[in-house]
Amino acid sequence: MSGNGVRERASGVRVLLVDDEAGFLETLKKRLARRGLEAETAGSGEAALEVLARVPEIDVVLLDVKMPGMDGIEALQRIKAARPLVEVILLTGHATLEGAVDGMRLGAFDYLMKPCEMDDLLAKVFEAKARKAELEGRVAGAGGTP
């Protein structure tokens, strides 16, 4: 826990956690909150899309690949379609690397293997947020609209 450094970087980063395991979601949310990250949770792909529609400030989505109903890859495509600038980090519970690679090809920022270290997770989230910020800046500059 790098204490304040993390907290500073975390401020203003809004995260959406998508996983069908409620226990995992809750704990991760609490841990992220402790590090200053505000996290929303969704138990499924559909729920994630709803949350995204409801909370437009979300920067990074942590998306479980294997879920009942709509799976991570499909959810990723729909998220990217709805909110192209939102960065998605895939969480794979099993090593379906193809899934991860497919996800990367479809626009995911990166992938993490479950279970993952909190430090790795945070690092990835901050990278994603930084990229999003950069892209947003570029879009704003190019498009001319504030």
Partner 1 sequence: MFDRHYYKSLSRSMVLTVFLVSLTPLALVSAITSYQFHTSYKDRVQAHLRELVLKHKRNIDGFLAEKLAVVRVLADIIPEGRFRDPAALQAILKSLQERHHGAFVDMGLVDADGVQVAYAGPLRLERARYAETRWFREAMRHDLYVSDVFLGLRGSPHFIVAVRVRASGAEWILRATVDFESFNELVESVAVGQTGLAYIVNNQGEFQTRPRREAAVGPAEMRGILLRAAGAETRGDFSPESAAAGIRAAQSSVALDVIHEPAGGKDVLLLTAPLKDGAWTLVYQQDEADAYASLYHARNLSLFAILAGGVGILLMAVLVANRMVNRIVEADRERDMMNDQVIEAGKLASVGELAAGIAHEINNPLAIMLEEAGWVLDLLDDESLRGHESHPEMVRALKQIRQQGGRCRDITHKLLSFARKIDPTVKPVQVNDIVRDMAALSEQRAHLANVRVSVDLAPDLPEVPASPSELQQVLVNLINNAIDALERGGELKVSTRLDGGFVRLDVADNGMGIPKANMARIFDPFYTTKPVGKGTGLGLSICYGIVRKMGGEISVDSVLNQGTVFHIRLPIGEARA
Q: Which two tokens stand for residue 5?
A: 């450094």
50 vs 119, which CB is nearer to partner 1? Answer: 119
Quote the DSSP letter at residue 142: H
Binding mask 111-140 for partner 1 (x = CB under 8 A): --xxxx-x----------------------
Binding mask 60-79 for partner 1 (x = CB under 8 A): ------x-------------
Please tell me whether residue 85 binds partner 1 under the rule CB under 8 A: no
The interface region with partner 1, picked from 26-34, 73-81, 102-110, 138-146 by CB under 8 A, is 26-34
Please tell me whether residue 10 binds partner 1 under the rule CB under 8 A: no
Instruction: Report 27-66 residues binding partner 1 (CB under 8 A).
Output: 27-28, 30-31, 34, 66
Please tell me whether residue 7 binds partner 1 under the rule CB under 8 A: no
How far apart CA 124 and CA 62 sit, in angstroms, is 10
Query: For the chain, how long is the longest CA-to-CA vector?
Result: 44
Q: Is 4 helix (H, G, I), strand (E, B) or coil?
A: helix
